[in-house]
Structure 1
Amino acid sequence: MIDLRRLRVLRAVAYYGTVTAAAESLHLTASAASQQIRQLGRELDVRLLEPQGRRVRLTQAARGLLAHADAIEARWELAESELHALDGEPVGELRMAGFPSAMCRLLTPVAGALRAEYPRLDVRLREAEPADCYDLLFNGETDLAVVEASADAPARGDRRFEQQTLIEDPFDLVVPEDHPLAARTAVRLTEAAEERWIIGPPGVWSRQRVLAACSAAGFGPNVTHEACDFTVTGVMVSHGLGVALIPRLAQLSGVPSVRRLRITGTPCPSRTFLTVTRRGGTGSPAVRAALDVLRVRAKETVG
């Protein structure tokens, strides 16, 4: 019988890419993590790590073992969920994580609703960027996360996670209240082709979304200002410095004198929100209850 804790070390090495990073996530020393994997290899009579320059990499045998390790982890998660489901009512601790927009508009009100409906449920929230949310789930430090879909995130079919589309969050064109378009409720993106634009600086996720949308509409935006934060962008718009595309769920707290206009036609840019749990984790009554409330809240908020 192999030690399942050693399988978790192997999974962590595959997830983080290095023994050092895996050890840190598991609160082990790198030498202790390496020793765990060597011992696992001896138990199975296979070699799991091989040198690659100054680093090591997983062998083919290790990659084959990982498929079984992920399946075992998912089955254990499901077993725990079924045990907690015996009473039916959500109880105990539920940990949820998400990036700022998800926290403000979705997870915080959902946590309040869950506390009111299930007094024995202890809801804990944690703000985290999408990449960190996957790490928190993998390490067992959160139970449910709301993230934005991105190309560098784990694939939808990743056997370690269950990922479901929650909602599409459309981008609105934000203009000053005295702008010629401000009296409208909806516009086509091409109507802003001659405007001065405020977008994110290089490296910010929203920049590529805006540039891609404008390109699909047949124009390149005249970028005059750059800002990371949507509230800062909104303040710039309110002072007549340009127009911007801002997701509908992004709050413009305390920003006066701007108008949000719905984009019609094609392209109609949006970002996708996903719910993510560990594989097998949706069997938990607490997670199921949170997902139910979350879906209702998301539809109401974007609508």
Structure 2
Amino acid sequence: MLTPIQLQAIRDVVATGSLRATAKRLGYTPSAVSQQITSVERTLGVALFERSPRSVRPTAAGAQLARRAARLLAELEAAEDETRSFATAERGRLHLGSFWSAGFRLVPEVLAAFLRDRPQVDVRYEEGDPQTVTPAVGDGRLDLAVVFEYGTVPHKWPADLAMTLILEEPLYVLVPMAHRLAGRRRIRIGDLSDERWICYREGTDAARSLFHICAEGGFRPEVLFRTNDYNLPYELVRKGLGVAMVPELAMIESPEVQAIRLADPSHVRRVFALHRAADPNPLLEQAIGMLRTAAAPIADGLARTDLPTAV
């Protein structure tokens, strides 16, 4: 098997017509270059150069091999550059998964930045709740996932996955503008014990969180309507059919619905970026940084409005 050093020697001797010039270019002695060529001739059983005291001239076989060597070495150099570009995050793969509200509020910033600044990166996205995207990260189908955990419903995440906190978002109760509690900035969950509730599907973390929080307030919520559509609770609340609990990322503008923040600071939902701890992908750090940047205006807005308020 010909080696890159042998191919370089043959290519450059044909190009320069000189063992000495080739040796200087490659950083070897003329004798070492000659030995490389002689080794190839012996292995292939063909003379590659006509040698004289003053020059070396390629044979037909030598000229053909030099042309092929130039192409092969160019391919090797391209392969090196291409592979090195993975280390510098100019190429690579970023397959990202996320739950709906983070996919709506945070992920587009990341996807747009990668497609704009890293056009040679294979960027893909799929939506899914934490129970779906977490195993996909573990088995390599996804590189990074945005997941959540309610303060009252902690998860036991796989030990081989690394987690970075992106955002801690408060929980709000949605009430119609004509509601008896409308106008408050904070509310205790116990003030809602007699309400009808609109809730996400039974068995979801959001539903379990609602029941845990209400239990802390000393009551069990009367849930009349269940949906996993993030928009429908606003419409049901607007019609006066009940109240609902939503996290910050799921908030939408609705002039006929007021969102009142829960007074207990432990009633939050935490958003994490999750990836395999052993994954050396340099794109992960960039993507996590972009997610935190996208979340910063939300966190800053919460900080500005998080003032003591009578409830």
Band of TM-score, shorter chain: 0.5 to 0.7
Partner SS, residue 260 of structure 1: strand
Structure 1 residue 189, shift from structure 2 partner: 2.4
| In 2: Cα distance, 1:242 partner to 1:107 partner | 31
Of 265, 269, 280 in structure 2, the residue corresponding to residue 271 of structure 1 is 269
Question: Normalization by structure 2: what TM-score?
Answer: 0.61
Contact 1:90–1:285, Cα closer than 8 Å, also in 2? no
The equivalent of 2:278 in structure 1 is 280
Contact 1:85–1:284, Cα closer than 8 Å, also in 2? no
Query: Structure 2: which 5+ residue stretches go unaligned?
Result: 1-82, 303-311
CA separation of 1:153/1:192 partners in 2, compared to 1, >3 Å: closer, same or farther? closer
The one-letter code matched in structure 2 to 1:146 is V
CA separation of 1:186/1:113 partners in 2, compared to 1, >3 Å: closer, same or farther? farther
Report the structure number with the largest CA radius of gyration.
2
Contact 2:107–2:291, Cα closer than 8 Å, also in 1? yes
| In 2: Cα distance, 1:86 partner to 1:100 partner | 30
| In 2: Cα distance, 1:275 partner to 1:218 partner | 34
| In 1: Cα distance, 2:214 partner to 2:271 partner | 22
- Alignment: residue pair count: 216
Structure-to-structure mapping, 1:117-132, within 5 angstroms: 117-132=117-132
Structure 1 residue 190, shift from structure 2 partner: 2.6
Partner SS, residue 230 of structure 1: coil
The equivalent of 1:260 in structure 2 is 259
Partner SS, residue 116 of structure 1: helix
1:139-163 Cα distance to aligned partner (Å, 9 max, x none): 322211111237796535x13x222
Structure-to-structure mapping, 1:140-219, within 5 angstroms: 140-149=140-149, 155=157, 158-159=159-160, 161-219=161-219
Contact 1:216–1:267, Cα closer than 8 Å, also in 2? no
The one-letter code matched in structure 2 to 1:227 is T
Structure 1 residue 268, shift from structure 2 partner: 4.2
Query: Structure 1: which 5+ residue stretches go unaligned?
Result: 1-82
The one-letter code matched in structure 2 to 1:276 is L
Structure 1 residue 289, shift from structure 2 partner: 0.7
Structure-to-structure mapping, 1:1-303, within 5 angstroms: 88-149=88-149, 155=157, 158-159=159-160, 161-252=161-252, 257-264=256-263, 266=264, 268-281=266-279, 283-302=280-299, 303=302
Question: Normalization by structure 1: what TM-score?
Answer: 0.63
Contact 1:85–1:285, Cα closer than 8 Å, also in 2? no
CA separation of 1:291/1:233 partners in 2, compared to 1, >3 Å: closer, same or farther? same
Identity rate, percent: 28
